[in-house]
Chains A and B, each alone.
Chain A
């Protein structure tokens, strides 16, 4: 790895890549690095993406992360009520977090333990059931560990591929999990039984590191690629335009 490219910057590019080919849809990355990644995708290879300011406005220019919004160019209005119309129309790709995720991509952000009296109350179901049954949902995990990548999630908030298969082709026709990006690598579900596969490891990470940090058996291809590095132009966009305050390094340490 080039000495001055950070892990966080590799993660930004991996998140950007999640939106490649999406065209004119609402790209809705949640989290600091996904947000930088989404904005990077739009400023480079995916210019038709539609993005929010994190609240009710759709913003046309590459707002800096953590900026006050004074320089934003508002292209439209998207209050919460309109957001659900977008979700149900399918013209959206969200990248959500996951407190737990299993080999089929079932996600949990609601609670740990039993639902009547959880050991730990987490965020709640939020929009996960609606997102995953209506449009593409990718995941971002900044702290890859066996506590997150688990054999079984305590409760399914976001629908995974085994649950989708059980629903049948008609009911699950809009379900898709393009990828999972973590601080260690990139994962997809392009296996015969749609279980999680290691697609690439970030520079400096070994396949064994990933296996050790994962609580279930991953599909490991014979040749695992390295996640790609940012181009000089992408580095410029990340460092000087989208994230000049280096918020990315507070989410994933160098």
Chain B
């Protein structure tokens, strides 16, 4: 019997230090580990670097002052193309950024997971990515073609946070939606890996709960498991639930001014996850 990795949101926060690089799984406003994100928002943590295919995870952490830097290719709420809290943070100049192409981002995580310093790609050549990221370097092929490529550096993470539909107490995770996104890669690129899930089930229930291909996360990839029903809300977590568009609109509208945000924060952020689940309806 593998060891029991169950813990709470607050236990996860206790594993994170100021200034750490935190990777967050999901994509846009889809299957984001929001109960973990809100726990960070409530904490005293600061100066985090967030690495994400960004959605409300990035916006919420920017709005609550947790973020020094964002590594991103987009930050979007999908049905609302621009994340308004992130937009406000960017336009105020109060956060640093490393802006990347979506595919380069995947290569950076892959390099970190494989423990190599970079992976070569032609992505970025000709665009202004190299101009706005002076730290990006190019390499030449050592073979006859001698072609020049961008050397996408490893995006090594201190912490990865992901959300799955099901998991067992030992840290095996299962996604039941249509897209695994890059959650396994975030875990493989990180030192400490935490997975929230809609429901913890017995290990013997995993394979009967979905096809074996849905078992994307194995316990080599995780250090802690948090059972958090509605843990991805208001982002989508299909087939358990779809995005809560009305709630998302309320969240987006709260970016309009400080009073609205303070009210939203008091009502939905500065409370426990259990209270959030009750308040959300």
Contact = CB atoms under 8 A, between A and B. Distances in A.
Interface of A: 55-57, 77, 79-81, 84, 87-88, 110-111, 115-130, 132-134, 155-159, 163-164, 166-167, 170-172, 174-175
> Interface residues of B: mostly helix, strand, loop or mixed?
loop
Given A55-B178, A129-B104, A123 B82 contact: yes
Contact of B93 (A55, A117, A159): A117
A132 B127 contact: yes
Interface in B73-118: 73-76, 81-82, 86-87, 90-93, 97, 99-104, 106
B125 interface: yes
B27 A171 contact: no
Nearest to B30: A55
Contacts of B27: 80
Nearest to A78: B179
Interface residues of B, number: 40
A58 B178 CA distance: 12
Between A56, A57, A122, A125, the greatest number of chain B beta carbons within 10 A of the residue's beta carbon is seen for A125
A1 B104 CA distance: 46
Contact of A125 (B100, B125, B147, B148): B100
Given A81-B106, A81-B180, A124 B128 contact: no
Interface string B47-66: 00000000000000000000
B264 interface: no
Given A80-B181, A115-B132, A117-B91, A125 B101 contact: yes
Contacts of B99: 110, 115, 124-125
Contact of A172 (B101, B126, B132): B126
Interface in B185-203: none
Contacts of B137: none
Contacts of A80: 27, 102, 179, 181-182
Interface of B: 27, 72-76, 81-82, 86-87, 90-93, 97, 99-104, 106, 121-129, 132, 145, 147-148, 178-182
A118 B179 CA distance: 33
Given A57-B178, A80-B179, A159-B127, 5 more contacts: A81-B181, A122-B82, A129-B127, A133-B122, A155-B132
7 contacts: A80-B181, A115-B97, A121-B86, A124-B72, A125-B99, A133-B127, A159-B127
B217 to A, nearest CB: 14
Given A56-B179, A80-B27, A171-B147, A126 B73 contact: yes
Nearest to A79: B179
Nearest to A115: B132
A250 to B, nearest CB: 15
